[in-house]
Amino acid sequence: MVETNTGTVLFDPFITPNPLAVDIDITIIKPDHILITHGHGDHLADAQTIAKQSGAQLIANYEITTWFEGKGISNVHPMNIGGNIKLPLGKVKLVQAVHSSTMPDGTPGGNPVGFVVASERTFYYAGDTALTLDMQLIGEQFDLDFAFLPIGDNFTMGPEDALRCAEMINCNKIIGMHYDTFPYIKIDTLAAQRMFEVRGKELICMKIGESITL
Ligand code: NI
C-alpha cells in the first residue's frame, strides 16, 4: 500500500491466505483505490473484502474489473495497457507485463499489467513480469523516484533481471516483492542486496507489516 498526501493506493492484496502475513489485520485497511495487476489468486485474494469494507475504487484491466463486478463490486474502473487515468492523487498508467493472468475460477483475466503512478513521487509497480525491453520506455517517459520489482525468480524476474530492469528504467531505489512467500520463490535476499549495491542501486526488502517513508 502506498500512502500519499492526496490518497492511498493498495496493490494486489494477498494477505489472509499468505502464510507470512498472519499478523496483518485486514479490517483496518481502507485505501481509496485498489490496483490489480493480473488475475492470479496471490494478487487479489482479499480485494473483494477490502473493496467492500472501504468502498475503494478497483482499477484493473477490463476482464478483471468485469469479474469483480460479477462478485458485487460496483466501484470499478476498467483500463487496458497504454491507457492513463487521472486520480486525485495523480496520474496512473497501465504498462506492459510479461506473465499470465487467469482468474482463480479459470475465467480469462486479460493481459497482465504493471502500473506507473505519478503522484508527489513517481513510481513503477511492475506486478509479476519477466524482464522485457519495453521497460526502457518507462525509463524514457518517467523520472522514477522508486520502483517495486519482483525478485523471487521462478515465476517472475529473479534478482539479476530485476537489477537489469532497474538500470533500464533508470531507477536507483528498488523495493523487492514476490519473494520468499513459497518454497518456489525463496531467494538469498542479502546476496541480492549486495549485487544491487555493487551497481550503485538500493534493493529494499521490507518486513511484513513494515512502513517506510520514501
Ligand atoms: Ni502471477
pLDDT in the model for residue 102 = 98
pLDDT in the model for residue 22 = 93
pLDDT in the model for residue 7 = 97
Question: What separation in Å is there between the alpha carbon of 31 and the centre of ligand 1?
Answer: 22
pLDDT in the model for residue 64 = 98
Question: What separation in Å is there between the alpha carbon of 21 and the centre of ligand 1?
Answer: 18
Residue 183: C-alpha distances to residues 42, 145, 170, 176 (Å): 14, 31, 31, 17
- What is the mean pLDDT of the segment spanning 100-114? 98
pLDDT in the model for residue 44 = 97
Backbone angles phi, psi at 167, to 5 degrees: -70, -40
Mean pLDDT of the chain: 97
Contacts of range 47-54, beta carbons closer than 8 Å, 24 or more positions apart: 47/13, 48/72, 48/73, 49/16, 50/10, 50/13, 50/26, 51/75, 53/27, 53/29, 54/29, 54/30
Question: What separation in Å is there between the alpha carbon of 59 and the centre of ligand 1?
Answer: 17
Digit-coded pLDDT (tens) for 47-102? 999 999 999 999 999 999 999 999 999 999 999 999 999 999 999 999 999 999 99
- What is the mean pLDDT of the segment spanning 125-132? 98
Q: Residue 99: which residues within 8 A CB-CB, separation 6 or more?
A: 38, 112, 127, 128, 129, 130, 155, 156
pLDDT in the model for residue 58 = 98
* DSSP track, 111-149: --EEEEEESSSEEEE--S----TTHHHHHHH---SEEEE
Question: What separation in Å is there between the alpha carbon of 42 and the centre of ligand 1?
Answer: 7
CA–CA dist 44, 92 (Å, integer)? 19
Strand 122-125 and strand 113-118: the pairing is antiparallel
Question: What separation in Å is there between the alpha carbon of 43 and the centre of ligand 1?
Answer: 7
pLDDT in the model for residue 133 = 97
pLDDT in the model for residue 36 = 98
- What is the mean pLDDT of the segment spanning 101-120? 98
Question: What separation in Å is there between the alpha carbon of 163 and the centre of ligand 1?
Answer: 20
Ligand 1 ion: Cβ-proximal residues, 5 Å cutoff: 40, 128
pLDDT in the model for residue 180 = 96
